[in-house]
Chain A
């Protein structure tokens, strides 16, 4: 290559190399972290603690978090004590009242069986929240343990697990539910939860595997390894605290989608079954009367939408707080 190159030997500037360092060096010696616009930088101090306390400080000031958090607290409250705000019995129905719209004492009207829609909507929260919470806990535990171990140890187990997750991803969820749950006769929530854990764990497993692999490459984890930390100590003390954040975010958002999935399965007739009170069952039943009595559809559907929305917004807010880069 015909590169014209003349070594610059100015008495003061020295070579280009020496000169290039001057201001950079003086900057480096005078900069303190506080000068960087308070970014602080995750991993600058204690790796895990500062991340969580920073996130919590952000969350407390985020109206989206506060609103969705309040909705979720309210939902938890009415699923534990529905009778606190609904005095009636969701199964106490009178066919004479079927499809009637709202009347004093029955603000949401009656459904096709003559049951009080308000009472059923309040009592329906329990099934949705139970399915959502239990399925999420199951998926998060199974997925993060399997994914985390695969990511940490790598090798042949990782390859096998990756193929297994691929298999589960290839099966359409609603179809799988339709096939598996169509034989179930139990009218409890457990088959539905079991199905969701069975088909849901690969999603979390992928996330956990990825974040464990990322965390494993962090300098301080390498340092711990060099200092002879045992595998279990590294996993629990150094890797897990860093890998858990993305799992929590995805799981929170997934919780909302599990609630929606339960309703969808119930609508298709394979989810929860009466006498369990569930928004999905009520929406499904209401769809037959949609022309004459749309109120039967709107109340449980509205409750369902608000619940799903609350969990998705909560997940969004937590992600924003945990990942400052996304802002």
Chain B
């Protein structure tokens, strides 16, 4: 597979490929003793095969909860999906029985978690944990599964895979552990991978290596990739499309190069301005003023209005729709949930 012509495996352009995954108007809430937290409030996004969608947002923005809802690993209760559709290969996952969804997990879609040390079982060897995918989903014998595990470890370039397959997670370095997580997700060559902050827990030097490996495997297998992150640096390198989330909604969705050129939402703009830059050494770092919203009590109108420098009266009363953004030279779809996206675009 690695010898294939790279042009042939190029991601199909957004317009022609059918959507692999489509999330429609998804609402998730958590019922706790203190009240109902509305974690996801009408998220819409989609991924095509071979495409990378980066979902960006602060903690509490609902990006991980959306991913867990897609995977079907939400804690229910306290979590509850109140409405929406999750279409995977055109089929609504929320209408499936738990047993049917279980079979899709791991084989149709897989997830990579942030902290590989705690996400891998500490008392089982990595070989057992990788092999499990084959014995459970493919009915392989333990011996064959073990051989597959070694193969997978080779593929994510873990040196001396044959010897290390019997080792336990704590015996690997952070980067190697995350490679094992990746290998586990890739094991059954799923069509969709969700990576939840895959490099956040790693050393800076290792982050790029792991990210490159992930991107490489994605190209090879032509998978859809949802990359959940708050790291704009990672996004710029690998993403095709960016979706920015705030208070459980998508506030901006755009092709990656467009968003860096000119954001169409004041929140995105604030995020981009808070990146430390070498050409502004010595200046104060910009920070978005105010606090992230309380999910038990989201402000009326645009959820971002209390922190927005451009907020007008309409922002405090009307929820802005996720409107289509158009301008000269824009070739792909672009959307913004701001009443004043035109003004924001102009800067």
Contacts and interface: CB of A to CB of B under 8 A. Distances in A.
> So, do A and B actually touch in the complex, CB under 8 Å?
yes
Interface of A: 1-8, 10, 12-27, 29-32, 35, 37
Q: How many residues of B sit at the interface, in one of the four size bands?
A: 35 or more
A28 to B, nearest CB: 9
A23 B286 CA distance: 11
A19 B209 contact: no
18 contacts: A6-B212, A8-B237, A12-B236, A13-B235, A13-B237, A13-B260, A16-B231, A19-B232, A19-B235, A22-B230, A22-B271, A22-B274, A23-B231, A25-B274, A26-B58, A30-B290, A30-B291, A37-B34
B159 interface: yes
A10 B233 contact: yes
B345 interface: no
Most buried by A among B57, B59, B275, B292: B275
A227 B1 CA distance: 64
Given A20-B204, A27-B58, A15 B288 contact: no
A26 B274 contact: yes
Nearest to A27: B58
B204 A12 contact: no
Interface string B288-300: 1111101000000
B207 interface: yes
A146 to B, nearest CB: 36
A22 B212 CA distance: 21
Contact of B275 (A2, A7, A14, A32): A14
B219 to A, nearest CB: 13
The residue among B57, B233, B275, B292 with the most chain A CB atoms within 10 A of its own CB is B233
Contacts of B287: 25-26, 29-30
Given A1-B159, A19-B236, A20-B204, 8 more contacts: A6-B208, A8-B233, A13-B237, A16-B211, A19-B275, A21-B276, A23-B57, A35-B292
Contacts of A12: 232, 236, 260, 272, 275, 277
A69 to B, nearest CB: 24
B278 interface: yes
Contacts of B270: 26
B200 interface: yes
A26 B233 contact: no
Given A3-B209, A26-B287, A30-B287, A14 B271 contact: no
B89 interface: no
Contacts of A19: 231-236, 275
B272 A23 contact: no
B137 interface: no
Given A1-B157, A1-B159, A30-B292, A20 B231 contact: yes
Contacts of A24: 230
Nearest to B233: A19
A84 B164 CA distance: 75
